[in-house]
Structure formats: C-alpha cells, structure tokens
Amino acid sequence: MNFVLREHEQAIRMLAKALEDDGYAVVVKPSPDKLPFTLEGYTPDLLATRADDNLIVEVKSRRTPDVVQRYRRVADTVKAHPGWRFLIKTLADTPSVRDTSTTPVTDLDEIRPYLARARRVITSGSPELAIPYLWNAIVALLRHRAAGAGIEFSELSDRSLVNRLYTLGELSAEQHAALTRWQMLRNRAVHDLGFSAAAADIDAMWAFAGALLADHDPQTS
C-alpha cells in the first residue's frame, strides 16, 4: 500500500472513531446491502447513523480531482431522502463532524451592516465601487450555506467554494455561472483602475446577496 492510500485509510479510521465518539453507529466501506438506498454503484467511505442525523461520507485527498458528475449524482440521491446528508471530507479535515470548518462563518450581525454599507456606495454615484463589498458579503453567506449543508470549506478559495457548492447541488447552473462572472468583476474592480460595470450586474449581485441573507436570517424573511 503506497503512502497516499495509507494516509487515506488512516483518515477514514480517525473520522470513524470521531463519529462513534459523537454517538453515531459507523460502518466503514459499507457493502450495498448495508446502504439504506441504492447509490448506483458508488461506495462511500463511511455510513454513519444516529437518531437525529444520518450521513453518507466520502473522504478524499486534496490531490484527487473532484469527479463532479459522480458527486452531484450522489448528492442529489442522498438529498432526496429526508434525514440523510452527504459529506465530503478532505484528508486535512478535523475529525469532528460537528464543526464543519475551522474557518468560522461570519456572524449575520456583521453581514447586515456590511450590506448596508454596500448599498450606500451603490447610491453614491459610483455603484461599481460596491462590487468588492457585495462579493465579500456573498462569499460570507455562501459559507453559511456550506456549513448548513455539512460541506467542509476551511481550505477552499472563493472559486473552489462556489464550485463545491455547485458540485453538490447547493447552487444551480445559472447561479454558478453568475457567481463566476461576478468574481471576475470583483477582481477587475480591485485591480483595474479603468474598471466599469453594468448596472444590471450590480443589481443582480445585490439581489442575490439579499436572497442568501433571507435564507439564513429570520429578520429579513
């Protein structure tokens, strides 16, 4: 067994122990007859069940590329069954499944005034200057979505976070395309002195940020 495989097997054992310590019944590399529903040939690394939570877990190396369509199919299948979650954990993840990221999500009480500041910039006559504010707020709110879905994001860049959420069905294809475009706008806004942006893109970023906030903040619903 080579080093990468040994590291992978060790990570599976460590995560299995952490889940058992947290009250889960854990099966390592469950056979199809142990799974509660068919996963169309996919074998997870761990099956973890508890009265209030049930997990299908994939442990992967950061050197292993995401098999996007496979993970999306698995995520869609799992999501269709109430009480079940699909998690992807990298080898560097903390074993605790309760803490889904070592990067804390930004408190909503900090995001609301940040968006209010972006709104003031939008109405000041130079709306393109609000794009970095809007992008930072959107990323902070996407981390809330990732945490709520049990998706590890502590080592993900902004682009990787967007890609991971799309891969696992938390973003639509249209949202993924828009976010990719908005990140390019953000980069140009920060680095290009001659930058300008269409009002429609700024309005769309504002609306998307507001919708994300409403998803997580009862005060805005």
pLDDT digits (tens, 9 = 90+) for 70-90: 678 888 899 899 889 888 876
Fold of 108-220: Four Helix Bundle (Hemerythrin (Met), subunit A) (1.20.120)
Would you state the structure tokens that stand for residue 142, as one six-digit string?
Answer: 């996407």
Average pLDDT, the chain: 82
Containing 81, the helix (H) or strand (E) segment is none
Domain ranges of the chain: 3-90, 108-220
Q: Which two tokens stand for residue 15?
A: 């995560």
Please give the share of the chain, as a percent, with pLDDT higher than 90. Answer: 25
pTM for the full model?
0.58
The tokens for 67 are 């098999």
Question: pLDDT band at residue 97, thresholds of 50, 70 and 90?
Answer: very low
User: Which residue, chain included where needed, has tokens 């889940």?
Assistant: 19
3-class DSSP state for residue 135?
Answer: helix
What pLDDT is stored for residue 20 in this prediction?
85
Can you tell me the distance from the alpha carbon of 142 to that of 140, in angstroms, rounded to the nearest whole number?
A: 5
Polymer length of the chain: 221
Check residue 64 and give its pLDDT. 52
* Topology adopted by domain 3-90: Trna Endonuclease; Chain: A, domain 1 (3.40.1350)
Q: In this model, does residue 96 exceed pLDDT 50?
A: no
Over the stretch 131-155, which tens digit does the pLDDT of each residue have? 988 999 999 999 988 888 878 787 7
